[in-house]
Amino acid sequence: MKSSKIISLDDEPYSLVAYALTSYAARPGDSAHGTVLGVGITVGANMTYLKDHLYGWHVLVGIILAMMLFGCSPLPRQGAGPEPPVVPAEPNEAAAQSEKITLSLEFEPGTKTRYRVTTEAVTTMEGPETAVRDNASTAPFPKVSESSEVVFTQEVLGTVPEDTNAVVALVTIEQARYVRTSTGQPDLAFDSQKPADQNSPFAKLIGQTYTIEINPLGYVSGVFNLRPARLAVRGPTAAHAAALDLVSPPAIFSRHGSFSLPGPDVGSLAIGGRWRGVQQVTLKAPGTDMDRMGTHRFEKIYLLESVEQRPVGTVAMVVLTGSPRPRKTPDGRLAEVPFLSCSYVGSGEFNLDAGRVEGYLEHLEVRMPLPGTGSPPAEEDRIVIATRFCWVQRLDLD
């Protein structure tokens, strides 16, 4: 198992933890590939640019995961490395008779791919007015919405000397969009395609580069050469801080690595086969006193649902469900999961011929007690609801 690298960015040490991500959906008139798979997702209505970007619709995808695990019962703890153990599929005659396939990223030096990654985070608070007023950490905080979009190219430079399975890839940021709305604060918005926004700190992100190490399982083990991009957007304003966050290590790991592929211990899979992955998520409400609501780990169960022939090649359809992983206390016991409820679903498409992710959707929603209230509240309405959405789609190169 390869450990995460520890590097220093602007004199700040970061332990680079493996994330797992990629998402998608095709749109009329777009050059992206793939079709939306079954997860129920509603994109926040207040994200004007995102609504326009999605042709005036909320992205609403029919739920087809009724036969899969749903909810938040913690699964047994497993290793968080890039080679998660397989979860045996239920006995299935069709699966037993289907041909086994291998899901693995393929890298050729000089190969370029382009992706659009859209993320949205919405944090709302429910509770009696007195509970809100008396809890200093929530004021003023009825709702915070944050959406971002980054279009980038990823070019394979070569293999990593100490790990011939991993490669170094150069990432170049081509476009960016950002919107944040928060009750009681001015909206913050940027679109690199608008001439009027070219004086924004975000504009300095366009053309910036950094490098990542990634292996065939989608495990991103390191990010390097990030300092120039971060220095370019440093400054005293909220826009500077938001732009800086787009090139932070956690954002980069999410951007490039959240779709976990089965490791060698899993091997080739037939339809119905399963494997595990681990996702680390930091919940936050930017611009409020609740800017950080903790970093939580979720275990994801992937299911190979079907294989189809598409114009782009042979495509494997994958669905997933997730649940929180309880932390261990200093005495070795499992701590109580801090959520009142949880829903974590997603789906993706993997091109078996090209060895690449075509697209991926992921939706997480948790309900948790108000910070500072300790154990789960007696009143169900005194809670924070945090929703996280990610959509990745591959785009054609010009």
For 19-50, what is each residue's pLDDT tens digit?
A: 333 223 333 334 444 433 333 333 333 333 33
Q: If you average pLDDT over every residue of the chain, what do you get?
A: 75
Residue with tokens 């005194």: 382
Q: Which amino acid is at 358?
A: E
Q: What pLDDT is recorded for position 326?
A: 82
* Non-local CB neighbours of 129 within 8 Å, separated by 6+ positions: none
- Lowest mean pLDDT across 179-193, 297-311, 375-389: 375-389
Rounded-to-integer distance, Cα 269 and Cα 271, Å? 7
**Half-sphere exposure for 194 (CA within 13 Å, toward CB):** 12
Q: How far is CA 186 from the centre of its chain?
A: 27
97 vs 171, which has greater pLDDT? Answer: 171
DSSP per residue over 170-206, as a string? EEEEEEEEEEEEETTEEEEEEETT-GGGTTSGGGGGT
Rounded-to-integer distance, Cα 114 and Cα 269, Å? 28
Phi, psi torsion values for 366, nearest 5 degrees: -125, 150
Q: What pLDDT is recorded for position 11?
A: 34
Q: Where are the domains of the chain?
A: 6-395
Per-residue pLDDT for 260 more than 70? Answer: yes
Residue 280's pLDDT band, with cuts at 50, 70 and 90, is confident
Q: What pLDDT is recorded for position 129?
A: 55
Mean pLDDT for the stretch of residues 388-396: 95
Rounded-to-integer distance, Cα 210 and Cα 216, Å? 20
Q: What pLDDT is recorded for position 382?
A: 67
Question: How is residue 196 annotated by DSSP?
Answer: G
**Percentage of residues in the chain with pLDDT exceeding 90?**
49
Mean pLDDT for the stretch of residues 203-217: 96
Q: What pLDDT is recorded for position 394?
A: 96
- The 3-state secondary structure of 141-175 reads CCEEEEEEEEEEEEEEEEEECCEEEEEEEEEEEEE
